[in-house]
Chains A and B, each alone.
Chain A
C-alpha cells in the first residue's frame, strides 16, 4: 500500500476563490492510501516545496498528489522537488484543479466537488504508480531549418554563429522567400532586397551553413536529439558545380511563356530560370514541364550555349539522408486564393490586384520595371482604391477568422509611396479598423494620412464592377458618415489575407508537430514557450506559427535559434522513462503495434515463454526503450492489452476513470 500525501494549492486566488481548498483537504484524507493532506497558498514556491519535502520525510510518503495547475505548467517542478527530497519523481501525479476546474467554473460548490473528484482520480493512479528510472540519449550536433526565407536564414545564421552546423532546406530554386519579393519595408522604407541579400550572401558563405535549394523534406524519423531526415534534392538539370551563373542559357531559352512564380504570374520567365537576379545559389533550374527538350526531345539550346557544360538533362532527383539534433520549421506564408471573393472582380479584371502583386509592380526589377501602371492597358492610374481585410477577420468560411497583422502597415506604405512618387494620383483606403501597434508604426500611418493626404474611409467595399470604359466601379459604405459611396477607380488593390504555406500540413505531420485549425503550427505554450512546438526538438520560426512582420520574424528566428543552441550544447538528454512495455504472456505476436509505431521502436522476435507451465516458442513484441517516445499508439492498437505504457498503464487509466465515476 502506498503512503500518499496530497498537496492542495490555492494558486493565490486562482484556485482558492472558486474551490474550497480546506474541504478538498478534508475529503481527500478519506481516500485509500492517503496519510497526509494540506493546503498552501503557492505550492510551487520555495516554501510550498519545503512543505512537500517535510511531509515526505515526516510521514514517510511513497507517493504524492499535487492539486494545482496543469501538469504542463508545473509537473516538472514537482517531480524535481520530489527527487530532491528522496522520492522517485515518477511517484508524483498532478490533479489539474485550475485549468480543468476553478478557471471554468463559477459555482464554488460544484467546483469543489469536481476538484475532489479530480484529486481522487490522481490518488487512484498514484496507488498503482511504480518508480521509474530515466535513461539517456545522445544529441546530434546539427540542426535542420525547413524554409529559406528571412525566418529560416536568420535562424540558420544564429545557430551557425554559435558554432553548430545547420542545413537549410528550401523548396524553391533560391533562398530569400517572401521578403525577396517585397519592394520596400515599413516603417523605415528601406529597400527589402538591400537588407535581405547581404543576409542571403552571409548564409551562403557561412562555413557552418549548408543550403539545399529546390529540395524538400521527404521523411522524418527519430526524436529530439536524434532525428533522421530524408531530403529530396530535386533534379535541377544543371550541374551546380560547373555552372558559372552567366545567365546566357536563360537569355537564349526559346520557351519563355511560363508565368513567373516570383512575379506572382504578372510576367513570364524562361523554362531554364533563376527566380530573380540575386538568387542564391545563382544556378538556374530547368522547369521540365515547360522545357521543349523534355516535352518534345528537340531543342537543347541551353546545352549548346553553356560554355561551362553545366546542363545535365539526365540529372535525377537525389535523396540525402542526414541526422539532426533539432529541427526548425520556417515555412512561411502565402496569400489566400481569392476564388471565393467574386465581389472584388479579382478574376475578371487585370486591374484588381493583390498587395503582393503591387509589391512586384512597384519593384524596379518587377514586370513593369517599377512603373505604376494598369496591367490591362499599361496606362498610368489616376485613382487607386485599397481594400483592407480581404479575407482577414472574416466570420464565414470564405476567409480567415484572424487578423493578418501586416496589411494595415503595408497598405499605409503603398499609399504613401504612391502619393510620394505620383502626387497626382488619388489614393483611397477602405478599412474596418487601422491597427498599428509597434514601434514607429502609428506615426507611420499618421504620416500617410496627414502628410501624404491618403484618403482613409472606414467601411467595407461591397462590390468592384469592371466598366465598359475599362475603369472599375467601386461600391462601398462610409460608416462614419453613414452613407453609401460609388466611385470610379483605375486600379483596386486587395490587402489579401495571409495563410501558412501549402505543404505545412505535410511537414507538421512528418514531424508530429501539432497545427491549429488555420494550419498555423502550435507553440508549446502561447506565452512562455512561443518558439517551441509541443513536439520536443521541433522549433518554430516566422509566420508558420502566426502572422507577423519582418522585425518580429527576425526576433522569433533568433529566439528559435537560441533554443536550438541550448539543445545542441548538451551532450546527452534525459529520456522519458514512460515507455511501452509488453506483457509476454498476453502478446499475440500479431505485429499491429510495430505497424503503428511512428518511431520504429518495436521489433519482433521468437522467444521461449513459460505460460503457466506450458513452454513454447512464441513470436513476441520487443520495445527498444531508447527509441520509444511513449506516445501510446501501440497500447491502444494491441487487442489483447499486452502492451502497456509505463506510468500510464491501462490499469492506471481505468483506475482513474473508476475513481471519477464512483
Chain B
C-alpha cells in the first residue's frame, strides 16, 4: 500500500498526472470508498487494502473529460472493464495513467457477516482475518470473508496498465458457469419462480446500473421520455419482468463479468447470473470470448461471419 501511495504522490508531484483515482479511507477498515485525490495534501486519506473491491474503471468516463491525466488504480479484473470502456469509446486511454494494483481476492463485510459473525466492532484485512466483536475476538480464514465473485477469478494478469505495483494471486476455485448450469437444469416453471422470487426483492435503487461499467450510456433508456418507458416503469412487477432482463440484454457482449452488480445490490440479488448466462451462450455459439480482453476485438454480437450460429437454434428451443 505504501509503495503505491508513494508512487502516486511522486506522479502527482512531478506533474505526470493531475489527479489520482483510488480509494479513500472510511470509518472502518472495511468501508473504503472510491475517490479522486487532486493534491498531495489530499493523499493522506488514500488507502488500498483488501476491502477495496470497487471497480474504478467507470469513473474514468468523467475523468477522461478533465484536463490532464488521471492516475487510476485497477485490479486485474477491473482492467477488463477499462478496456471495454475504451472500445466503447467512453474512456480515453490517453487520459489514463494506469497502475495495475495487486489483488489476492477482495473481502466484503457482508460476506463476513454471512459467515455468522455478529456484533462486529472491527476487522483486519489480514489472512487470517481477525474480527473483534461484542462477544470477543474471532479468527476467520481469509476465504470466509472473500467476495463470491473472487472464487471464479479471471486471473491475476492485468490486460492493460502503465506500471504494476503489488502481488496478485489467482483465487479461482469454482467454475463460474456452475450456477448457470444449475438454473438451466430447472423446468421453465422453476426458473420463472426462481427469478421472480429474486427479482421481486428489487427496490429499483439503480445501484447495479450506476456501478456497471457496461451500463455507460449518457442517458439510460429507462430515464428517457423517448419511448414512454418512464411511465411503463411504474407498472407493477416492472423490475421482475423487464428492468433487469432488458439491462442484461443491453450489456450482453460488453459485460466483462466484473460482478459489481451483485456486489452492490443492497437486496443481495444475484444479478450477475443473467450476464453469465449470456456469456456462456456467447461462448457456446461464437467461441470463447472475454469482453475487454482486447480493446480492438470486434465483439461476437456486433460482428458477422458466415460461421455464425443460425437463427434456427431459437426454434429448436435455444441452447442449454
Residues of A within 8 A of B (CB): 505-506, 509, 583, 585-592, 595-596, 598, 604, 611, 616, 619, 637, 639-641, 650-651, 654
Distance to closest chain B CB from A140 (angstroms): 25
Distance to closest chain B CB from A423 (angstroms): 52
In the bound complex, what is the Cα–Cα distance between A654 and B225 (angstroms)? 13
Which chain B residues numbered 72 to 112 have a C-beta less than 8 Å away from chain A? 87-90
Q: Are A591's CB and B88's CB within 8 A? A: yes
Chain A residues near B251 (CB, 8 Å)? 639
Interface string of B268-309 (1 = CB under 8 A from A): 000000000000000000000000000000110011101000
Q: B226 touches which one: A587, A598, A651 (CB < 8 A)?
A: A651
Q: Are A590's CB and B89's CB within 8 A? A: yes
Q: Are B228's CB and A654's CB within 8 A? A: yes
In the bound complex, what is the Cα–Cα distance between A654 and B226 (angstroms)? 11
Distance to closest chain A CB from B216 (angstroms): 7
Q: Are B306's CB and A505's CB within 8 A? A: yes
Q: Is B217 an interface residue (CB 8 A)?
A: yes
Q: Are A588's CB and B90's CB within 8 A? A: yes
Chain A residues near B228 (CB, 8 Å)? 651, 654
Residues of B within 8 A of A (CB): 65, 87-90, 216-221, 224, 226-228, 250-251, 298-299, 302-304, 306
Q: Are B219's CB and A586's CB within 8 A? A: yes
Closest to B303 in A: A595
Chain B residues near A587 (CB, 8 Å)? 218
In the bound complex, what is the Cα–Cα distance between A619 and B299 (angstroms)? 20
Q: Are B219's CB and A654's CB within 8 A? A: no
Chain B residues near A592 (CB, 8 Å)? 88, 299, 302
Closest to B85 in A: A590
Distance to closest chain A CB from B306 (angstroms): 5
In the complex, besides A590-B216, A639-B217, A654-B227, 9 extra interface pairs with C-beta distance below 8 angstroms are: A583-B226, A585-B219, A588-B89, A589-B89, A591-B87, A611-B218, A616-B65, A639-B250, A640-B220
Chain A residues near B220 (CB, 8 Å)? 640
Residues A641 and B226 in contact in the complex (CB < 8 Å), given A590-B90, A619-B89? yes
Closest to A644 in B: B226
The 6 closest A-B pairs by CB, nearest first: A640-B217, A595-B302, A590-B88, A639-B250, A641-B221, A589-B89
Chain A residues near B65 (CB, 8 Å)? 616
Q: B89 touches which one: A591, A650, A651 (CB < 8 A)?
A: A591
Q: Are B90's CB and A640's CB within 8 A? A: no
Chain B residues near A509 (CB, 8 Å)? 306
Chain B residues near A619 (CB, 8 Å)? 89
Residues A596 and B302 in contact in the complex (CB < 8 Å), given A590-B89, A590-B90, A616-B65? yes
Residues A506 and B306 in contact in the complex (CB < 8 Å), given A588-B90, A640-B220? yes
Distance to closest chain B CB from A428 (angstroms): 41
In the bound complex, what is the Cα–Cα distance between A616 and B61 (angstroms)? 14
In the bound complex, what is the Cα–Cα distance between A74 and B298 (angstroms)? 41
Chain B residues near A639 (CB, 8 Å)? 217, 221, 250-251
Distance to closest chain B CB from A465 (angstroms): 37
Residues A651 and B227 in contact in the complex (CB < 8 Å), given A588-B218, A616-B65, A639-B250? yes
